[in-house]
């Protein structure tokens, strides 16, 4: 996924494999089965026709570890391009297999930056437990963007009950939503997502209940960091087709989506945007400390005491 907001782009390219002598599961753990030996990878700006070669790197040496799973984790080969890309421009990825002369291509157009109206860094935000309390998040859609998500990073201090001068700054990430779709991709569309206030407290209770040493410490919420992400049309199509293919009724299975010419996979773009620091309504500090949902988590209220 290309990102106009990043100064370095990373692309993963792997090959399909099939052996008559062993299972696909066994083959997936062998690096030679999933990585090409001799390929040339370029990224071309279709607006300017400028072509840029990508460098083969091992992600492990750059702190980009591969998630554990079916495939071999090491080496972790990626293809890297340093430098910013141009928002709204279209790009073509080209892979030339130097062993057989086969060319594989894919195209995408970059998702642009976008504006967020609510929240902002000047007006505190609040979540409350009343059944009718809702919080609206409002933004303008990005040019070439289609599907939107939001994580909220909740920053807090943790202190030992026996010595509150010893403080650790910590955070926990709340996955709020990942499925808000714009009508089109022209941009500047007004978008609103409404979040139930209680969902914040349910998340906090679920996360902190299993934290080791919970009763030995007290905590003070500090501020929130809103981390938006938006994916391009190809990513939206990919996720929608995958969801459709989960049906159990006869004939409901859908073909796998790919926008790779001469191959299988996904080539799209995204954009990440952060709004921080967003401070909380002081009353929310009291609710977090004293609500029956979270009063066992040892968060401090405005008076710097717990409520139990």
Q: What pLDDT score does 73 carry?
A: 56
The pTM for the full model equals 0.87
Q: What pLDDT score does 27 carry?
A: 46
Paired tokens of 49: 């026709």
**pLDDT: which is higher, 50 or 252:** 50
**Mean pLDDT (whole number) for 36-50:** 96
**Cα separation of 123 and 228, whole Å?**
18
Q: What pLDDT score does 230 carry?
A: 98
Fold classification of 2-109 is: Immunoglobulin-like (2.60.40)
**Cα separation of 182 and 145, whole Å?**
8
Neighbours of 271 (CB within 10 A): 25
Report helix angle 198-208 to 282-290, nearest 10. 50
Q: Percent of the chain, pLDDT > 70?
A: 87
pLDDT digits (tens, 9 = 90+) for 88-133: 899 999 999 999 999 999 999 999 999 999 999 999 999 999 878 8
Candidate from 65-74, 82-91, 112-121, 185-194 with smallest mean pLDDT: 65-74
Spatial contact of 258 and 105, defined as CB atoms under 8 Å apart: no
| Residue given tokens 């609040």 in the structure block | 126
Paired tokens of 189: 């569309």
Q: What pLDDT score does 229 carry?
A: 97
């Amino acid at each position: 996924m290309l990102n106009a907001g990043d100064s370095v782009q990373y692309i993963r390219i792997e090959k399909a494999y099939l052996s008559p002598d062993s299972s696909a599961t066994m083959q997936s753990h062998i690096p030679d089965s999933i990585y090409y030996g001799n390929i040339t990878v370029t990224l071309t700006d279709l607006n300017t026709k400028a072509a840029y070669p990508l460098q083969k790197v091992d992600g492990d040496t750059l702190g980009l570890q591969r998630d554990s799973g079916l495939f071999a984790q090491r080496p972790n080969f990626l293809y890297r391009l340093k430098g910013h890309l141009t928002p709204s421009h279209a790009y073509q990825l080209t892979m030339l297999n130097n062993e057989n002369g086969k060319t594989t291509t894919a195209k995408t157009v970059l998702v642009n930056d976008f504006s967020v109206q609510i929240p902002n860094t000047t007006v505190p935000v609040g979540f409350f437990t009343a059944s009718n309390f809702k919080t609206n998040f409002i933004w303008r859609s990005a040019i070439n963007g289609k599907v939107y998500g939001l994580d909220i990073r909740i920053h807090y201090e943790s202190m030992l009950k026996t010595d509150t001068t010893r403080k650790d700054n910590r955070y926990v990430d709340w996955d709020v939503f990942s499925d808000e779709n714009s009508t089109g991709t022209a941009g500047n569309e007004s978008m609103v997502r409404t979040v139930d206030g209680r969902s914040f407290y349910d998340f906090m209770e679920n996360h902190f209940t299993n934290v080791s040493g919970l009763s030995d410490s007290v905590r003070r919420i500090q501020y929130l960091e809103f981390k938006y992400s938006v994916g391009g049309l190809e990513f939206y199509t990919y996720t929608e087709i995958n969801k459709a293919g989960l049906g159990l009724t006869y004939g409901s299975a859908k073909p796998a989506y790919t926008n790779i010419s001469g191959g299988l996979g996904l080539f799209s773009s995204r954009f990440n945007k952060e709004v921080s620091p967003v401070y909380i309504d002081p009353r929310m500090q009291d609710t977090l400390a004293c609500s029956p949902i979270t009063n066992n988590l040892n968060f401090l209220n405005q008076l710097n005491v717990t409520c139990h």
